[in-house]
Structure 1
Amino acid sequence: MRKPGEILKAILKEKGIERVGTLSRKWPYGRDIYQELAILLLEGDGAIVELEEPTAEAWDLEGRKVSGSRFAYVRPCMVNKFKPVVTGEDLKAKLPDYPYIIVDLMLWDKHIPKEKSKIILQLRETYGVMRRMMWPKMLAITWLNDEVKERLKIPLEKIKAYEGPTSELLKDNGIKRVVLLDPNADEVLSSNDLKEKAFIIGGIVDMKGDKKGTTAKIGEVLEREGIDVLRRKIVLRGDVVGVPNRINHITEILLRMLYGEPMEKAILAVQAPAHARWRLRKEIPKRKIRYLIDGKLYLVVEKELYDELREWLNIRWEDFVKVLRETGMVALERKRIHHLNKISMYRLDKSGGKRVILLKRAALLCYNC
């Protein structure tokens, strides 16, 4: 799969166009101007035309500002005055019909007001992700009710706003099998799954802590309607802990994978330090060493563990220290741990074992306490 912006640039190259100017103030200004320009064309908001005289300035296909061009983007009111070179229809002819990214709101009424506000915010941000990375028309929101419509405040005509159940949307589009992204699924999302025509994300926010496993109910309803449901999870090194779980984050991870990024790289592109700390709280205790020094128990990890973990977690040193303090652990350089091991004696206990040191001065080796 390719982004609409990449397809637009390919079309321009085929036509021998290396730069595009504009006769409109409505010109993309983000990081990927050709992606934004592609969305404008797909939404019928203008075309790229050929001019008799070059524009004052233009942008090459890498997005750099260059000298003028005889090809320019114009608004719909000016298209008929020039010879169109690339239109939204040209782009649509090159775009695949699938996949759909579906946010299922079947469980909307199970949420408290604060959770509903979170869902609305995440849906708005998901719309932004789809504009930046794909095409909003491939975003579907099902079980759409009046409350959501009133609060959502995005142009519903630019997405698939569907009041009915997800099963009807799928049947209307001839889709018999879908991937349901569920953190409690048994199987991990694979490259073979990325070939499917639709992916469902549950419109669920769990602030009360009583919605664990509810995503599976979406799949059960679909299966009763004759839809084959593939329940899959997105994991980071075998675990869902540390994987961002907001609707917009899951959408971006999925899109990155659809564009060919490995799962881990896609997760790290989205993962915030707060998400990384969730995983850090799980990873650090796995590496602890228990020392009983002069009758006092110390939980110790290697200081170098930070460098090892930050290769696959978006953590900063302050995150590492914060989790150490939360878990009551200390960090020692590897060479100091080797010294402690030399002067200690290993003893088994109910917690698996500890190293015992009877020297008071050994306690001075600990810092970060």
Structure 2
Amino acid sequence: MKTLADVFREALREKGIDSIGTLSKRFRKSKNKLQDMAIEIVHGKGAVFRIPEKTAVAWDLNGNRVEGSHYAYAPLCMKDKFEMVLSPEELRSKLPDWPYFIIDLQLWDRHTQKEKGKVCLQINQCYGLLRDYFTGSELTVTWANEEFKKMFHGPLDRITSYGGSTAEFLMEKGIDEVVLLDPWADEVLSERDFDVRAFVIGGIVDTGGEKKLTPKIGEELEKAGIKVRRRKIVLRGDVTGVPDRINRILGIILKMMVEGKPMDLAVYEMQEPLHARWRLRKELPKRAIRYRVDGKDFRVVEKELFDEYSQWLKIRWEDFVKVLRELDLIALERRRIHHLNKISNARIIKGKLYRVILLKKASMLCYNC
């Protein structure tokens, strides 16, 4: 899927422009200069002008530094001084129909004040993510009441703020089918779902436990006649370890949709150690070996599992140790576990497999986390 920078690049090439500069220092530290210039043009803050003398700083259309250019981004207040070659109206006319990404706030009043603050922060971060790919106005907040507007410290004028319901917004836009990101859905999100014109991501922060509020949003949409594709994001087939923050869910969708990354990699890149530890708590017990030494039980895992899990979970060594302690597990090197298996006998005790070691050999089992 094209980004705004791609559209801007094509528009410049159509006019025979192969490099662009700026008359200020504003974009010099930008990581994606074409994207950031295009954002300002789309929002009517500037345009591309032809200037008589080359700029001191310029970049080619791949973002590489070049020795100045006769074409530059400048604020619209300079339109009387230089020849405008690409106006905001012209660039906006070239924009594709990117999908809307909807944050539904119908359950706003069920949140505590602290949760409401978190929702506002995550929505602001969602704008930043969309701004990196599209224009930012694709972010839509429905049921946007006055309390939200007062608490939201982001660019309210650059997102789509809608006071009515999500269903009303969709019907106004002529959209009759959406993807609802729902961790309790049966089907997994895939590239086949990227043909819809709107994604409903949520608008819920559940610090008080699993309230399963997201499905209620889907029920309301279906009552209004909107077809809802309920989809979940998984990591290696399981929702555990998938970030639950609105902005991180959006980031996963964008990495899959725009960058073409597989879901597991997109989840990994948007994951934080907190989310990774959730999954590690679930995975490590599966790999534990039970030992019984003189009537005392131990559960042991291979220390090398850290290297294995860190390939797809964003964990640090301290996260690995933290989870070991929480689960009362012991980590030993693989070679030591092989030795313990040699000096132990396998037995079924209360329906579970144990390796039983004689008391005089108990010193072989130690805490080497």
Question: Distance between the aligned counterparts of 1:342 and 1:89, measured in 2?
Answer: 76
Q: What is the match of residue 234 of structure 1?
A: 233
Structure 2, unmatched stretches of 5+, are: none
- Match for residue 273 of structure 1? 273
* 2-structure distance, mates of 1:236, 1:223: 28
Q: What does 1:196-345 correspond to in 2, within 5 Å?
A: 196-209=196-209, 211-259=210-258, 260-345=260-345
> Displacement, 1:358?
1.0
Matched letter for residue 229 of structure 2: L
Counterpart residue identity of residue 246, structure 1: R
The CA deviation string for residues 131-170 of structure 1, in whole angstroms up to 9 with x for no partner, is 2232211110000100001111223221111000000110
C-alpha separation in 1, matches of 2:223 and 2:297: 56
Indicate the SS of the match to 1:102.
Answer: strand
DSSP 3-state at the match of 1:81: coil
Listed one character per residue, the Cα deviations across residues 218-271 of structure 1 (whole Å, up to 9, x for unaligned) are 011111100001111011001111111111111111111111221111111111
Measured in 2, the distance between the counterparts of 1:171 and 1:73 equals 38
**Which residue of the partner structure matches residue 135 of structure 2?**
135
Question: What's the CA shift for 1:109?
Answer: 0.6
Residue identity opposite 2:191 in structure 1: S
Q: Hey, what's the Cα distance between the residues in 2 that align with 1:218 and 1:202?
A: 8
Among the aligned pairs, what percent are the same residue?
54
- In 2, the alpha carbon distance for the partners of 1:344 and 1:13 equals 73
Contact 2:300–2:329 (8 Å) recurs in 1:
yes
Q: Which runs of 5+ in 1 are unaligned?
A: none
Residue 108 of structure 2 aligns with an amino acid whose one-letter code is W
The 1-side partners of 2:90 and 2:337 are apart by 65
**After the TM superposition, which of the residue ranges 158-167 and 75-84 deviates more from structure 2?**
75-84
Deviation at 1:360, TM superposition (A): 2.7
Q: Is the 8 A contact 2:340 2:364 kept in 1?
A: no
Name the SS of the counterpart of 1:179 in structure 2.
strand
Shift of 1:279: 0.8
Contact 1:28–1:36 (CA under 8 A) maintained in structure 2: no
Q: CA RMSD in A?
A: 1.6
Q: Once the 2 structures are TM-superposed, how far is the Cα of residue 100 of structure 1 from its aligned partner? A: 0.4
Tell me the CA shift for residue 25 of structure 1.
4.4
SS at match of 1:257: helix
Structure 2 Cα separation of the partners of residues 171 and 117 of structure 1: 29
Please give the alpha-carbon distance, in whole angstroms, between the structure 2 residues aligned to 1:351 and 1:112: 46
Task: Give the counterpart letter for 2:331 in structure 1.
Answer: A
How many residues align? The count is: 368
Instruction: Say if 2:192 is the partner of 1:195.
Output: no
The Cα of 1:28 is off from its aligned counterpart by: 5.7
| 1:45-84 equivalent positions in 2, closer than 5 A | 45-84=45-84
1:366 counterpart residue number: 366
Counterpart-to-counterpart distance in 1, 2:66 and 2:22: 12
What is the aligned partner in structure 2 of residue 153 from structure 1? 153
In the aligned structure 2, how far is the partner of 1:331 from the partner of 1:163?
A: 54
* Aligned mates of 2:325, 2:243 — CA distance in 1: 23
Task: Give how far 1:364 is off.
Answer: 2.8
Aligned to 2:177: 177
SS at match of 2:149: helix
Secondary structure in 2 aligned to 1:301? strand
Structure 1 residue 172 displacement after superposition = 0.6
Distance 1:25 1:307 in 2: 44
1:80-95 correspondence to structure 2 within 5 Å = 80-95=80-95
Using a 3 Å threshold, how does the CA distance of structure 1 residues 249 and 222 change in structure 2: closer, same or farther?
same
Offset of residue 71 of structure 1 = 0.7
**Cα contact 1:46–1:79 (8 A) shared by 2:** no
